[in-house]
Structure 1
Amino acid sequence: MGLSMYTAGQDVSDLKKHVSAIATFLRGHEWLWRAHVVDFFQAKLWQGVDEQWNSCLRHISVEALLLLPSGVIQEEWPNSLKDFVQTAFQLSLSRAQVDSSSCMSLSGVSQAPIGSVLGQGMSVKKIHEIGILAALIAATAKLNGAKDVIDVGAGQGYLALVLAFEYRLSVIAVDACAHHADVTNKRALRIQKHYDARSRKSQHNSSTYPDVRAPRTVTCRVGVGESPAPLSSLLPAIQESNNLLHVSEDTIVDHGVKSVREAKDCGVVLAGLHACGDLSATMLRTFIECKEVASVINVGCCYNLLSEETSNVDKKTPVLGFPMSEAVANLGLDLGRSARDLACQSADRWKEHHPTKAALTFELHAFRAAFQMVLERYYPETARSSPSVGRLGKSRRRRQARQSAMKPVTTTKESSASSSRCSWDEPSTASQDGDVLSLEHGEESVKVEFQVEDVSDTNGTSGDFEKQAQRFDEYAKAALDRLDLSPLSSSVFHSIWREVAPFKDLVGPFYSLRAVLASVIETYVLLDRLLYVKEQAEKTGAKERITVELVPLFEPSISPRNMAIIAHRSGA
């Protein structure tokens, strides 16, 4: 990939050239990233791919398909295909983790270990993320003399609790879910007892374990939904809570009583670990608009949930999640939901999947595309409602992958034929949960239990066709039943599968090509946010100095959404 990070001193003109190059590249392949798996057979999407590309990719192994999003090419491929993959790779920011000490904030604060008490309930991924991010936040607070941290989108409070108990910071944990606040408070009581006991044992050396204060929790919707509370309304609440040792809902919402500008000595760090959708944009806007916010550290996710309106006529309400910057807005490239879904894909996750598990998922997506033909022909009104399909449950795929881990995956045409593209990290179109296939119909979500057999022993015989046709028959019947649609005979499903079978080995290559664009689109969204901060920094002139950088903080194989925007402000 091109750059691994954008440093604080990076020139804005370089950023603008980068996003312009991305926009040009994406426009050249727009039909590909706007396509959807369910339309593959119905719309004959393989016909939009260069014939040489199809001829080449339909015969390669599942392993090779899984490496495409990582920019891995083969010498014998057509030059145009190699150029496509390499250009995408070069335009994308590298997700390779950088040394945390290279961040401009991280100096003089060592990473505190997360022990069994604080780490209870955390996954390995969460411990990895919070260990690094908490140290960075603590270093940032020390650098700016900030007194408080607002953990935005705090979830169950894992980050907030580490910041409060290990780094002795004053923390407000903000989340829209009251249950999350309740969980955080209960965990805080248990952890407080542990730290109090540890402090009593070391009472002769009080400096070793000074008094700690549990995070304060706030339940409110920030910047999203109906009548959201502005994030800036929490700033007076911090001042009040420092005086009164509590935060009330009235204090937060009734921000007219005490204006943000009246909140003295309110040096605040805004922090968000995987702040979802527009929440990341809200954090950056709050940093720019509120001088009481000394720093912002944002790791975003869920680009599919970003608001994006190209037809917004009210220019006085620039509250969209994308685009944020003038530079990207002026390029006029509308991404849309399909592209933002695709941006959630991770090349690192693709390349780590076991080929057998990938083949199982590929086949399932071929079934879904074939099932769309059933809907179009026999239930057109249902087809027009665009029912979306999730993925086969993780537990079943993991079990089958373990069972087949010692089996070699053949590289024959027929083995490759099983390779319809999987959407491992695409949350809006495919959510993995349990041993089920989810179909959303209107506003209802129904779940279809469906057994997918191991396909690693496909040998390209007529018997293999019959087995796949039978599995599709079972799939389609279960889906129709749960959608309360009238049943069809097996001969209908067998006929449709026979119609699509000659092209099923092109599903995997097609969606692997789409996945090549995932990192490019994510880079486009991230650079838009970075440009926004830099553009606003330029407008402040000599009034204050704003520095910002974009850094891959985490190991991408552990945490694919690892890019952090880190910004600070200082006086002139």
Structure 2
Amino acid sequence: MAGSTGWTEPATAGHAAAGDAQRRGSGQSTAYALAFTRTPGFQTPSEFLENPSQSSRLTAPFRKHVRPKKQHEIRRLGELVKKLSDLTGCTQVVDVGSGQGHLSRFMSLGLGLMVKSIEGDQRLVERAQRLDQELLQTLEKEEKRNPKVVQTGPRHPPHHVVRWVDPTTLCEELLLPLETSPQSRARLLLTGLHACGDLSVALLRHFCCCPEVVALASVGCCYMKLSDPGGYPLSQWVAGLPGYELPYRLREGACHALEEYAERLQKAGPSLRTHCYRAALETVIRCAQPELRRPGVQGIPRVHELKIEEYVQRGLQGGGPPPPLPLNVAALRAHQAQENRVVAFFSLALLLAPLVETLILLDRLLYLQEQGFHAELLPIFSPELSPRNLVLVATKGPLGEAFSLLETEDN
């Protein structure tokens, strides 16, 4: 996908996905043909064959407190960042929206990179710092137990900064080097693992505007939180398309897990009932408070074991308006009778999700290419584990064939 134009390479990506679609031989061919391929170039995922909760590619200290999905993500993205850092001569990695610091910890204490972590939530930063110290102590104990383990130099845990990054302005803290050398300028690599909404856009703008930033590896998420205008579209090419607008519902749908839901459809289990129940709850909320849009409703465990009126009562208590008393149970049961239609509607909407995500990511890719930078989109996570699995990689100098090495598995 690297190149200076907006036409040739998006078509190439489409042809690759079209080949996959022809092999499927289903009515989904058009959707697959138009979307970027989400299939990574490695077997899915061999690291969990021995134990589904522990990646065999991460040592035990780096797995602690980390769920399997996150284990897979930090290892894959961390290894890509390490390769990209070596190729571009970066002196420092900046992890933006670092959360509890799992990725930063692996890159710094596992891969030996100099890492600054920026996170806006003070509580998450404090948690990350405690986990850093816990990991350092564990690694020191392992070295004492096994003298054959040789530490080649001092360990540098991530340097954590509490800071909200404004997508509309440059963040000076993000650009400050941890170490300065009179002989050379800092060369920064920006990364973000599922940076939410406009935070991914902020990474792109810092990459484009700041000479200190020479490389980017960004995995986006939460497209429904993009500012409009400002977060989409970014490129002139997409802005020139007729009907390029993406309403909230489409952007929200692009964040769902297509592969996971396809598996649920094949099993045809009672968990599919969730969508019908949620639709019924939305109807009740809008009747009670018509001006309320997109209300936040807390997750309810084991929905399929509840009666629909029990689910609605719990949903209203978890953030919606007070329930109209009594609930119209007959109307709720009538909603429940539409369960198959709701599943069919949701399935059709989900079929379009990769196309919407492709348009958003293509817009970002072309935005970088229009300014003369080198960029590619690489599927680096197993989509079954991590549905948002495309990383946008960009450099200010050409990498040529080296781009293809970034997504390969390390031995």
| TM-score between both structures, scaled by the size of structure 1 | 0.59
Describe how 1:327-476 pairs up with structure 2 within 5 A: 327-331=237-241, 333-353=244-264, 354-368=267-281, 371=284, 375-376=286-287, 379=288, 382-386=289-293, 388=295, 390=297, 393=300, 395-397=301-303, 452-453=306-307, 471-472=308-309, 474-475=310-311
Q: CA deviation at 1:369?
A: 5.6
**Amino acid of the residue matched to residue 306 of structure 2?**
V
Query: Does the C-alpha gap of structure 1 residues 10 and 242 become closer, same or farther in structure 2, counting only changes over 3 Å?
Result: closer
Q: Give the distance between the partners of 1:477 and 1:169, measured in 2 at CA.
A: 50
Q: CA deviation at 1:363?
A: 3.6
Q: CA deviation at 1:243?
A: 5.0
Match of 1:487 in 2: 325
**Secondary structure, counterpart of 2:179 in structure 1:** helix
- Please say if 1:326 is aligned against 2:236: yes
Match of 1:290 in 2: 210
Q: Give the distance between the partners of 1:243 and 1:501, measured in 2 at CA.
A: 64
Describe how 1:162-561 pairs up with structure 2 within 5 A: 162-197=106-141, 208-224=151-167, 230-235=170-175, 237-238=176-177, 241-243=178-180, 264-309=184-229, 320-331=230-241, 333-353=244-264, 354-368=267-281, 371=284, 375-376=286-287, 379=288, 382-386=289-293, 388=295, 390=297, 393=300, 395-397=301-303, 452-453=306-307, 471-472=308-309, 474-475=310-311, 483-488=321-326, 492-494=328-330, 496-497=331-332, 503-537=338-372, 546-561=373-388
Q: Give the distance between the partners of 2:56 and 2:112, measured in 1 at CA.
A: 11
Q: Give the distance between the partners of 1:367 and 1:306, measured in 2 at CA.
A: 27
Q: Give the distance between the partners of 1:141 and 1:10, measured in 2 at CA.
A: 23
Candidates 10, 14, 29, aligned match of 2:8: 14
- Comparing 211-220 with 329-338, which one deviates more in the overlay? 329-338
Q: Give the distance between the partners of 1:220 and 1:171, measured in 2 at CA.
A: 15
Q: Give the distance between the partners of 1:196 and 1:502, measured in 2 at CA.
A: 60
Is the CA contact (8 Å cut-off) linking 2:223 and 2:254 kept in structure 1?
A: yes
Is the CA contact (8 Å cut-off) linking 2:13 and 2:36 kept in structure 1?
A: no
Q: CA deviation at 1:390?
A: 4.0
**Secondary structure, counterpart of 1:331 in structure 2:** coil
Q: Give the distance between the partners of 2:57 and 2:322, measured in 1 at CA.
A: 53
Q: CA deviation at 1:203?
A: 8.0
How many residue pairs match? The answer is 377
Q: CA deviation at 1:73?
A: 7.6
Map Cα deviations across residues 176-206 of structure 1 (whole Å, 9 max, x no partner): 1111221222222222234445566788996
**Secondary structure, counterpart of 1:242 in structure 2:** coil
Q: Give the distance between the partners of 1:127 and 1:9, measured in 2 at CA.
A: 32
Q: Give the distance between the partners of 1:131 and 1:265, measured in 2 at CA.
A: 29
Map Cα deviations across residues 443-491 of structure 1 (whole Å, 9 max, x no partner): xxxxxxxx615xxxxxxxxxxxxxxxxx44x555666777335524x6x
| TM-score between both structures, scaled by the size of structure 2 | 0.80
Q: Give the distance between the partners of 2:337 and 2:142, measured in 1 at CA.
A: 68
Describe how 1:133-172 pairs up with structure 2 within 5 A: 133-172=77-116
Q: Give the distance between the partners of 1:159 and 1:301, measured in 2 at CA.
A: 16
Identity of aligned residues (%): 26
Match of 2:17 in 1: none
- Please say if 1:116 is aligned against 2:27: no
Query: Does the C-alpha gap of structure 1 residues 220 and 91 become closer, same or farther in structure 2, counting only changes over 3 Å?
Result: same
Is the CA contact (8 Å cut-off) linking 2:40 and 2:380 kept in structure 1?
A: yes
Q: CA deviation at 1:217?
A: 0.5
Is the CA contact (8 Å cut-off) linking 1:364 and 1:392 kept in structure 2?
A: no
Q: Which structure 1 segments of 5+ residues have no match?
A: 1-5, 21-68, 75-81, 101-110, 245-261, 310-319, 401-450, 454-470, 538-545
Q: Give the distance between the partners of 1:509 and 1:516, measured in 2 at CA.
A: 11
Q: CA deviation at 1:362?
A: 3.7
Q: CA deviation at 1:274?
A: 0.9
Match of 1:95 in 2: 38
Q: CA deviation at 1:388?
A: 3.2
Match of 1:434 in 2: none
**Secondary structure, counterpart of 1:384 in structure 2:** coil
Is the CA contact (8 Å cut-off) linking 1:114 and 1:127 kept in structure 2?
A: yes
Q: Give the distance between the partners of 1:128 and 1:507, measured in 2 at CA.
A: 33
Q: Give the distance between the partners of 2:283 and 2:62, measured in 1 at CA.
A: 48
Q: CA deviation at 1:298?
A: 0.6
Is the CA contact (8 Å cut-off) linking 2:234 and 2:363 kept in structure 1?
A: yes
Q: Give the distance between the partners of 2:203 and 2:171, measured in 1 at CA.
A: 8
Q: Give the distance between the partners of 2:118 and 2:254, measured in 1 at CA.
A: 26
Q: Give the distance between the partners of 1:128 and 1:174, measured in 2 at CA.
A: 22
Query: Does the C-alpha gap of structure 1 residues 122 and 500 become closer, same or farther in structure 2, counting only changes over 3 Å?
Result: closer
Q: Give the distance between the partners of 2:145 and 2:283, measured in 1 at CA.
A: 67
Q: Give the distance between the partners of 1:276 and 1:392, measured in 2 at CA.
A: 20
